[in-house]
Chain A
Amino acid sequence: VNLSSVITTYSVAVTAYLVLLYTSQLLISGVAAMQLWRYHRRRTPRDRALAARLASPPLVSVVVPARNEALTIVQSVRALLKLDYEAREIVIVNDGSSDDTLPLLQSTFRMVPVPLAFDYALPTARMRGIYRSIDEPGLLVIDKESAGNKSDASNAGINVASGVLVLIIDADTMLEPDSLSRGVLPFLENANTVAVGGYVGISNGSRVRDGRVMDVAMPRSWLARCQIIEYMRGFLMFRMACASANAVTIISGAFGLFRRDALIEVGGFNTSAIGEDMDLTIRLQAHFRARHVPFRIRFLPIPVCWTQAPEDLPSLRAQRYRWRRGLLQVLWRQRHLIGNPRYGIVGMAALPYTALFEGLLPLLEVTGYVTATVAALMGILNWDHYFLLLAVSVLFGASTTLMAVVLNDLASRNNSHKRDLGLLIAAAVVENFGYRQLNSWWGCVGTIQAIRGKGGWGPMKRRAF
């Protein structure tokens, strides 16, 4: 066995791995397309009117953890107050902000300090005050000391929430007006539903008015464009397929609707988790599966909300480091589930797939690129073979992304700008030359950070809507 054959074998193995990943995603997208088709057939406008026909629709508490969100918080709250679902309260948790988040809320919505008793079911950092709006009785602000993580703020909101359902969103999340009436439907249909997630779209480039996305369009920045197609792949392929088998392993922190009692039963968000949304979803799966309690976790395959993607490299890098650390931490903590038949399809398929294709991908991709390039430069690997390997992985990757674009069109049914189609197809190709490699590199650095036990969120640049 010489060096040349080892390097060639490794490069081929990495390419085979990538082809396997993309092929599996294409197969999975068939299941996702069926799910989408069924969803659109089922969810008629009459369906969405169901909650309005009930004598007492379930009260939903919208919990918004906010830390230094002065730029967007007023617009966000105004948009929340205009949601088309009447039975809701809004709980803003000011998580030790050092900017004007709290004073802005106090002055804009005439918030006054109030006595408020609540079920202190989840331990959190100390609360400094509770405020209620004079004008909007359903608007509540909790001012608390920061524990340095979103989980603690979310738990404080869950404690105070009086709704049977709790919607946890990010402060910069822009909800679709009908997101709540769509979100509560699975709970109204089946008493075993414990959580509902949804497809989160990227708002960069779109026209936004009063905290609402009015007209969906592609952004100018290629960095944001690449993230748009990345979100399409992430939400509309594996997650949709998982949802069809009640095996959802992540409900995004940007939109998660939960039964409050289920959240409390599993101990709320884990304050030491970096990827708190995935950690919670898997704990919900593990909790109910281990006890053989019937439960359902649903996923809405339509854009229920919009979020801003970072358009500068430092913010994107910090986000990707955090996502990577979060993923590895959850996989490590929940390793007893992987391959364990006690946890059904989550243990036997969803988590092993995640570990194999999300856990290993950056490491194999980066080492594959480095090995093949060095080998080609040293003359160990034929350049023809090098480009052949590269072309195969790019073509399969682009095909998968284009399939995600189709699914997105079917999901959102929003494709008004003809120019955007060309940009989307271009982004599906362009991301293979630089963006994907960068992501994989950040994934490797994130892995090292995870091994060293690094925590925290890293710097994130805030922008107004």
Chain B
Amino acid sequence: MNDWVFGVERVLIWLLWVGIALASAMSLIVMVVRVAMTAFKARLRRLERRYRSVINRALRGDGEAIRLLVRSPARDQLHLARLIINPLIEDRDPERIAATREIAQAMSLVPLGDQYMGSRWWWRRAVALRGLGLIQFKERSSQIVAALDDESEEVRNAALDALADIRDPETLPAIVVRFHDASLHRGRRAAALAAFGSEGEGFLLNLAAVHKEHRLNYARALAICGTARSRPMLCEWTADDRVEVRASAFEALAHVGLDEQAASLAINALDSPDVSVREKAAAALHGWTGPGGASALARHLDDAWPVAIRAARSLKSMDEVGRIQLESRSSDSDIGGELARQMLWEMETHP
């Protein structure tokens, strides 16, 4: 028994020393982290105070201010680059972008960016890509496109952000062909395409004619950047074998707008056995005041919920034509009647 107690005591004493060492080390780490972070923040604040007005003058084209920034110590340049470039995330004014680009070039930030793009650390490559994108440095577009195939997911997505910010039409095919690349964040793919607006449509239509297996993705892409030009192809896709393709084709038609033929397809699709197709078809009829649309939608106010709400919203968008149908249903006590009353109230209060 005594041996056991002594053994335990030895272990406890050893644990006590370990505990003391751990607690001391942790206290030290807490203090070091705090001091380091406070010093870092103070330095940033000092830099901002010192250079804010210089940066503002430099952005207005003041040569002396630009020279001051160029002569700033090398150790401050990265922080200054952040101060100069980061506001471009919110402010995409072309004049400001051009002025910032000029300052960045004068400060030799582009060679620094090149150096970072060749770094072995992904976060450096990502920072460089985002920076070059924000200042729209088109001379590096090809390197940024190449970064779409980087081994790091973060870098690939940063490259996509950069291409969305640069908006160089020559990089558009590289973005379009990667629209169905699942290794890139889906939100970023959509944002990149949205940045170019309808410029990407032509490439999409050409690719879609070849790659039928990717129709679903192309339909989703056309729902972002399609125009009336895509309508015939989308109408064709509403008869695709795959339910998701049919639904997405109607979603894209809602974006590009309907003509007589597309509207007729949407009205017919309201009787599809698939809820997702009926839902998207009802949404596609948003704002369509042509014959047959409103009455067909009114029949679906008590359909499955996703269809009913889309039908109601589309009826609301049809002004008088929709109002007549909604009023005719508004006395019903079912879900369709409640939807009709809600839409009529919204038309009245928030037209």
Contacts and interface: CB of A to CB of B under 8 A. Distances in A.
Interface string A192-206: 000000000000000
A395 B22 contact: yes
A49 B133 CA distance: 14
Nearest to B341: A115
A396 B305 contact: no
Interface stretch (B171-179, B184-192, B236-244, B256-264): B184-192
B295 interface: no
Nearest to B301: A117
* Interface size, A (range): 35 or more
B243 to A, nearest CB: 17
A399 B20 CA distance: 9
A389 interface: yes
Interface in A109-165: 114-117, 119, 121, 132, 134, 137, 162
B8 A8 contact: yes
A385 B15 contact: no
B151 to A, nearest CB: 16
Given A392-B12, A421-B31, A115 B345 contact: yes
Interface in A63-88: none
A399 B191 contact: no
A10 to B, nearest CB: 12
Contact of A188 (B15, B123, B186): B186
A370 interface: no
A46 interface: yes
Give the secondary structure class of B's interface.
Answer: helix
B194 interface: yes
Nearest to A187: B187
A189 B186 contact: yes
Interface in A1-54: 5, 8, 12, 15, 19, 26, 41-42, 44-46, 49-51, 53-54
Interface of B: 1, 4-5, 8-9, 12-13, 15-16, 19-20, 22-23, 25-27, 29-31, 33-34, 37-38, 86, 89-90, 123, 126-127, 130, 134, 154, 161, 164, 185-188, 190-191, 194-195, 224, 305, 308-309, 312, 335, 338-339, 341-342, 345, 349-350
Which 8 A-B residue pairs are closest in the complex by CB-CB distance?
A188-B187, A395-B19, A402-B26, A115-B341, A117-B338, A399-B22, A119-B305, A117-B339
26 contacts: A12-B8, A44-B127, A44-B130, A49-B90, A50-B191, A55-B224, A117-B312, A117-B335, A117-B342, A188-B187, A189-B188, A190-B185, A388-B9, A388-B12, A388-B13, A392-B12, A392-B15, A395-B20, A395-B23, A398-B23, A399-B22, A402-B23, A406-B29, A406-B33, A409-B37, A415-B34
Interface of A: 5, 8, 12, 15, 19, 26, 41-42, 44-46, 49-51, 53-55, 114-117, 119, 121, 132, 134, 137, 162, 185, 187-191, 385, 388-389, 391-392, 394-396, 398-399, 402-403, 405-406, 409-410, 413, 415, 418, 421, 424-425
